Amino acid sequence: MIRDVICIGSIALLLCALSPMMSAEAQRDEGTVAGNWTFDDGTAKDSSKKGLNGNFTGNPKSVEGIVGKALDFDGEDDGIKIPDSVDINSAGPYTNRTVAAYFNCDDVGIDSRKQVIFEEGGRTRGLVIYVFDGAVYVGGWNRAEYNWNGEWISAEVESKRWYHVGLVIRNASGKVEKDRFEMWLDGKLVDKTDGGQLHAHGDDIGIGFTNQNAVYHDEGGSGTNIDWFEGLLDEVVVYGSAFDEGDFRAASQGLSVEPQGKFTTTWAGLKAQRTRK
């Protein structure tokens, strides 16, 4: 009898511990996925049903990542070109959007150039995530239609360390409104600021570099095949919905450090070392 009570109590405690994770996973609406590049097979194949397969420029190398395999970019000519997509750039307007990725930058202190993790769009409308001078930035803008000149949010980061970064457009409309654009880092909201919906933007999509035009916090970003990322990228995703705290918390579970310098999580069975050797 006592053993049964202990067993039932243990199961209850386990379910209580897992329930936040289970609810967090349930909030991630797979029906809105626009692209999911896991890099687990060493290619830029889209693992979602959208089939938005990327093409390498240069030769990113397949290495151990945060979730299975990752790609190692050399900072010189390694990148991924993503085709146009009605779910990302060629239709719209897009009122909700999430772009997220794991990254591990070799040297975040480079101040001579940006290191682009993801970009879509061009000088008039678009989104971008990049590393520059010890910080990771997320940016968004729509300079036609309703004149959202853009917002850029940043957070300090360190070299040779895994992070999970996300940008979100949330419940936006055809005007600039408060708290529509967000930055998330390692499961926590960094900041939210003015934003609006994103209209169709034809310039090319890139992972690991600026494929064709972007806008940075200092108005740079004009050009093609520029600003290459140096380090590891893993699990780059684009969704047509706005992830919430539960979704980002679930993804960042793998970044909690144990005494042995390892990290684990129940989400996707993540296990790896946080610091690159």
pLDDT higher than threshold 90 for residue 35: yes
Cα of first residue to Cα of last residue in the chain, in angstroms, is 52
pLDDT higher than threshold 60 for residue 257: no
Task: Considering only CA atoms, give the Rg of the chain.
Answer: 19
Instruction: Name which of 58, 78, 26, 52 is nearest 231 in CA terms.
Output: 78
Which tens digits make up the pLDDT trace of 167-202? 999 999 999 999 999 999 999 999 999 999 999 998
Strand 55-57 vs strand 79-82: parallel, antiparallel, or unpaired? antiparallel
Tell me which residue range forms the domain holding 30: 2-273
Phi-psi region of 219 (alpha: psi -120 to 50; beta: other; left: phi over 0): left
- 87: domain CATH number is 2.60.120.200
Instruction: Name which of 93, 120, 85 is nearest 211 in CA terms.
Output: 120
pLDDT band at 253 (very low <50, low <70, confident <90, very high): confident
Higher pLDDT, 200 or 4: 200
Q: What is the pLDDT of residue 1?
A: 47
Which tens digits make up the pLDDT trace of 104-130? 999 999 989 999 999 999 999 999 999
Higher pLDDT, 268 or 250: 250
pLDDT higher than threshold 70 for residue 264: no
CA distances from 170 to 15, 26, 40, 151, 173 (A): 31, 18, 30, 14, 9
Q: What is the pLDDT of residue 261?
A: 30
- Dihedral (Cα; 238, 244, 248, 251), 10-degree rounding: -70
Contact 30, 243 (CB under 8 A): no
pLDDT higher than threshold 90 for residue 19: no
Helices and strands (DSSP H and E) totals, the chain: 2, 19
Q: Is 24 helix (H, G, I), strand (E, B) or coil?
A: helix
DSSP 177: E
User: What is the number of other CB atoms lying within 10 angstroms of the CB of residue 263?
Assistant: 19
The region of weakest confidence among 14-18, 123-127, 221-225, 262-266 is 262-266
Residue 196: CA count within 13 A, CB half-sphere: 18
Number of domains in the chain: 1
pLDDT band at 67 (very low <50, low <70, confident <90, very high): confident
Dihedral sign, CA of 168, 60, 234, 275? negative
Q: What is the pLDDT of residue 27?
A: 52
Say what the pTM is: 0.85
